[in-house]
Amino acid sequence: MQRAQANGATGVIVFDSLATNTLTNFGGTDTVGIRIPAIFISGADGFKLRAAILAGGTLNASARLGPDFDGSFDNGVVSHEFGHGISNRLTGGPANSSCLNSAAGNQTMGEGWSDFFALWMTTRPGDDGKASRYVATYDNNDPYTVGPGFRRKPYSTDFSKNNYTYSQLGTTTGKFQETHDVGEVWATVLWDLNWQFIYKYGYNADFFSNSGGNNSMLKLVLDGCKLQVCNPGFLDGRDALLRADSLTNRAANADLIWNVFARRGMGFSAVQGDRVNGAARVTGIQEGFDLPPQAKVIVLSNKKAATSGNALEAYPNPAQDLLTVRTQLNSAAPMQVAVLDLVGKTVLRAVPVSAAKMQQTGVELNTSRLTSGVYVVRVTTSEGIFTTKVIIQH
């Protein structure tokens, strides 16, 4: 290339010396002073071009430039990578930046915090927690609203889009132990909590303000990192958030935090599992979908501020042939689940379900025989009757 440039070439086509070779890439480090472009083509194509030139032919070529899909141009990727420096330095204190061990098999949450930072930084006014959000869509040459980006599932408060719970971690087939996969589950619960803070306190586009649920959530996450143990597990991280809320907000959001974590299997009776060489592992985990005795059940809203009362979910909504009903409510007796039309007639009923099952996986209802329209899902517990509206749309 240097010789070609010195002799007035405006570009270089390089091809392999073997006419049968289909290799189409090459590398090199000596690029000092090179100011002309170059491409590499296979020997098979190169010898065809060479033969045409030797026969006196004229070759016409054109190039179409496209975007450079590099992570340096993806705001989410930049925020993610910068976020590692934050979580690494805050966890364990500034003198110990090795408290987030990324070895496979650990409950390493570093990738999760970084995904959270990326999602948080790229949230725009008018966004909705139910919508699907992705990481590195630009870097992956994906549509912003379609994905899939670099993760297995979109980030969303909608359980039908992202149903990760604590038991997603483990070593059996289909479970997560690789650090990015583990972090994806951690980011999921942080993203849920972020939106509940927004629904409760509103969204403030001024990131330097003290108001707004998004800003309060970021402060909570950063304070939690400062308070948690070295090489934490998910429940250590949960408890650090609760401690931070207690110190900063006099535990004003404790019930909300517990409800969000319980929904994802990280509730009061959950067990963090094994700890090896000081690091929380993905083995020995036990889910828990319950709340502490003193905690109140909170509505985890998708549209408005969270309030005390019904914590009943029915999704997808609109539903077609299958509807899942789930709740974090307790009940001394099996829960009765029914679907009613708008005149109060029961059109579908499930077999009574235990509170534990309703908290963990919920109950699935076959709605394929229902006509399209608006219905009411009713759940009867020993603590009362709770309802929510759903749309059946075939």
Is omega for the bond preceding 94 within 30 degrees of 0, making it cis? no
Query: Where do we find the tokens 């909300």?
Result: 256
3-state secondary structure 17-75: CCCCCCCCCCCCCCCCCCCCCEEEECHHHHHHHHHHHHCCCCCCCCCCCCCCCCHHHCH
Residue 91, phi-psi category: left (phi > 0), alpha (psi -120 to 50), beta (remainder)? beta
Query: Is position 80 annotated as part of the catalytic site?
Result: no
Cα(111)–Cα(65) distance, integer angstroms: 33
DSSP secondary-structure letter at 292?
Answer: -
Q: Please enumerate in sequence order all residues whose Cβ is within 8 A of that of 384, keeping only pairs 6 or more positions apart, or say none.
A: none
SS3 218: helix
In the numeric block, which tokens belong to residue 112? 């999760």
Amino acid at 278: G
**Which one of 80, 84, 180, 394 is the catalytic residue?**
84
Beta strands in the chain (DSSP E): 12-15, 38-41, 275-276, 279-280, 312-315, 322-327, 336-340, 346-349, 363-366, 373-381, 384-392
Neighbours of 226 (CB within 10 A): 15
Active site positions, annotated: 84
